[in-house]
Amino acid sequence: MVLVVGDPAIASGDPAPTVADARATCRFCATPLRDVFADLGMSPVANDNVPLARDNAMEPFFPLCALVCSQCFLVQLAPFETPKPLFRADYAYFSSYSSSWLDHCRRYTEQMVARLGLGASSHVVELASNDGYLLQYFMQRGIPVLGVEPTANTARVALEKGIPTRVEFWGEQTARVIAAEDGRADLLLGNNVLAHVPDVNDFVAGMKVALKEGGTITIEFPHLLTLIELNQWDTIYHEHYSYLSFGTVGRLFEAHGLRLFDVQELPTHGGSLRIFGCHEDDPRAPSAAADELLARERAAGLEDLRTYLEYGDRVIEDKRRILTFLIELKRAGNSIAGYGAAAKGNTLLNYCGIGRDVLDFTCDANPHKQSHVLPGTHIPILAPEAIRERRPDIVLILPWNIKDEIMQQLSYIREWGGRFAARSPELRLFE
Ligand SMILES: [Zn+2]
């Protein structure tokens, strides 16, 4: 038996698996998993900010360990036990809060409409459509859309905006119902969702079912090659089950009667791919960009197990460097505040053991996150105005992927000689 999050067997007292558990098998190809990519110890769920009133309560920690499959090279979290559904329904994140992300979606819509010649007779389906942040742009152009979103409260926001949305988890079964009732898709898309689904086979099998003949799939996900090359181990967290390369996603598609024919490299999340998929018998030939990226991944060692096994040592060394850097700043008498209350910041703080003894507080513009403390470290989350009031010597930017934007917003810290610190890729100061 393979244990997955929310498995009711756990609640009834089954023994928990460990990394060495021979029952842990690859989410894609079912090969037993034995090889560790990065072991980040025990960590609370990254987005599970703790309300101030619960600051003195018990808090669950789970193993956070990424393994690699020796056959298909899918990097994936080791199974871990959990006594309740891991990810809360009242999840505080709405995509619509970030203006740079909305620009990204608007440009994507323009590009797809032009490239695929979409119009009033087309059908666009988005998986994990959130509050309709993206589909709204297709609707503005008179293109029929359908969102599929498992979180009821986010789906409700989309419905209130008039965006047709079904509250469903995506998989082959859901796809059959939707294909029969709403029709198959000319464009089937999913942004930052493939890495977050436990059963990647069921997810892609559903895409095969719901895609029209001649239709196009686009999926965006953070690129494993960038994670390795730029040492972005802090993007590993519990909701992020898989860490994907172009080569591995290509194999996953081929296993379900689909194939990849093009790719674009994007700066989002510190380095993402937008892959283009179609039915296996589609006449579109693989693009030069697709061939070139496959060759580059191979040259970087992504088809060689040793590349993955060596990665863990770099993570450990990076932790030592980060701690030395922060300890030296503290010994020199600096006050340090954080900026951001996002998943990747929590992985970094918990893995490195950085608490209130180093960071006085962090801040976040999302009002849902304020009046909370960060999980594990219990660093208070305040409104960004706290920076101006408390005048910290150093602002440690946790979401390094948007550090330029944040440095611009907070440029006033230079009035009192404040400096920024961020990973780029090593943690360093920005004068
Ligand atoms: Zn595998």
Give the distance (Å) from ligand 1 centre to CA of residue 59: 33
For residue 103, give Cα distances in angstroms to 22, 107, 108, 110, 124.
46, 6, 9, 11, 19
Question: Domain 95-302 carries which CATH code?
Answer: 3.40.50.150
Give the distance (Å) from ligand 1 centre to CA of residue 254: 14
| pLDDT computed for residue 4 by the predictor | 38
Give the distance (Å) from ligand 1 centre to CA of residue 340: 34
Give the distance (Å) from ligand 1 centre to CA of residue 325: 38
Q: Check for a shared fold between 95-302 and 333-430.
A: yes
Give the distance (Å) from ligand 1 centre to CA of residue 358: 40
Give the distance (Å) from ligand 1 centre to CA of residue 377: 34
| pLDDT computed for residue 83 by the predictor | 62
Give the distance (Å) from ligand 1 centre to CA of residue 139: 39
Give the distance (Å) from ligand 1 centre to CA of residue 231: 23
| pLDDT computed for residue 139 by the predictor | 97
Low pLDDT (below 70) residues in the chain: 1-23, 82-97
Give the distance (Å) from ligand 1 centre to CA of residue 422: 34
Give the distance (Å) from ligand 1 centre to CA of residue 282: 26
| Cis geometry, peptide bond prior to residue 425 (ω within 30 degrees of 0) | yes
State which CATH number among 3.20.20.100, 2.60.15.10, 3.40.50.720, 2.40.50.140 fits the domain covering 333-430: 3.40.50.720
| pLDDT computed for residue 368 by the predictor | 85
Query: Rounded distance, CA 420 to CA 410, Å?
Result: 9
| pLDDT computed for residue 320 by the predictor | 98
CB neighbours (10 Å) of residue 353?
A: 13
Q: Is the dihedral of CA 372, 151, 82, 248 positive or negative?
A: negative
Give the distance (Å) from ligand 1 centre to CA of residue 194: 15
Residue type at 410 in one-letter notation: L
Give the distance (Å) from ligand 1 centre to CA of residue 208: 20
Give the distance (Å) from ligand 1 centre to CA of residue 40: 21
Answer whether 104's CB lies under 8 Å from 192's CB. no
| pLDDT computed for residue 7 by the predictor | 36
Give the distance (Å) from ligand 1 centre to CA of residue 67: 10
Domain extent listing, the chain: 8-77, 95-302, 333-430
Tell me the CA end-to-end span of the chain in Å, nearest whole number. 53
Give the distance (Å) from ligand 1 centre to CA of residue 199: 12
Give the distance (Å) from ligand 1 centre to CA of residue 71: 5
Residues ≥6 apart with Cβ < 8 Å to 93: 47, 366
Answer whether 21's CB lies under 8 Å from 34's CB. no
Give the distance (Å) from ligand 1 centre to CA of residue 26: 5
Give the distance (Å) from ligand 1 centre to CA of residue 39: 19
Residue keyed to tokens 């007779």: 121
Give the distance (Å) from ligand 1 centre to CA of residue 27: 7
* Partners of 243 in beta bridges: 75
Give the distance (Å) from ligand 1 centre to CA of residue 148: 27
Give the distance (Å) from ligand 1 centre to CA of residue 398: 32
Residue type at 360 in one-letter notation: D
Give the distance (Å) from ligand 1 centre to CA of residue 302: 13
Give the distance (Å) from ligand 1 centre to CA of residue 158: 36
Give the distance (Å) from ligand 1 centre to CA of residue 65: 16
